[in-house]
Chains A and B, each alone.
Chain A
């Protein structure tokens, strides 16, 4: 361990503002990029699923629309 105490670690021998600002900016950017990529993926998958659901619904409706008159004709 290069430091005697936690306070000494935070103080960085008087260089705290330089060391910590560099590290914090870097790590925040990395985490932000990871978060963004995950968010992007979630959104894409969601919208693809939504589209698939919509298409399935429309297909079912279409089938009913063509089948329905025939059913009606038979029942009446």
Chain B
């Protein structure tokens, strides 16, 4: 177990193993998202109350899931970096931030657009909406903080600390709909309980959620590999790799 973690922490080993894993996640992401899109847009029945505007759920919910999961992953990676000084964890955290910010933006945007026909307003200072907006600012803060230092090590540590402190916002987002029941409805999609919607609506949503998660893993692997090449460009194994690829 420990030797596995140490190997995973070695950029060279990570670079090799991620090359093998990556294609599977790309294939899964593309397959699930394409099928989920066609099913969700064309074949899922219209909602009896919301009509066709409910089809926004297929991008809104997966994006909101990722927005939160990516922040937690970033905080865990930050902790691993701070405690064990594993550089790969910091590289992964660095490349996760922009994707997380993008997903937070997507969930806020699609939520606002969905709110117009459904709630009659695109924005309200509802607890869920406000805590998601704070999440977006936290992501932007992490990205800005990383860019604000000339020393890479200081930048990495500052970004890790902000991610670890900011993660307190995640349970607030999760439970906001139960603690302050105002505008946003409680969770409609859970794995643990029986779905509250017909299978024809729920299965494409499940596919989109899994597809988005696969996309997150695939993109993080790919960009962590890029980050390894950038930061380790002077190491012998990278030079040998370039010679071989010539």
Contact = CB atoms under 8 A, between A and B. Distances in A.
B44 A2 contact: yes
A29 B67 CA distance: 14
Interface string B225-246: 1100110010000110011011
Interface residues of A, number: 31
B116 A40 contact: no
A34 B226 CA distance: 13
A42 to B, nearest CB: 10
Interface residues of B, number: 42
Interface of B: 33, 37, 41-46, 51-53, 55-56, 59-60, 63, 98-99, 102, 105-106, 109-110, 113-114, 116-117, 215, 219, 222-223, 225-226, 229-230, 233, 238-239, 242-243, 245-246
Contacts of A49: 242, 245-246
Given A2-B44, A48-B233, A52-B243, A37 B219 contact: yes
Given A33-B102, A40-B226, A48 B46 contact: no
A23 B226 contact: no
A13 B48 CA distance: 12
A21 interface: yes
6 contacts: A1-B42, A15-B52, A18-B114, A25-B110, A37-B223, A40-B226
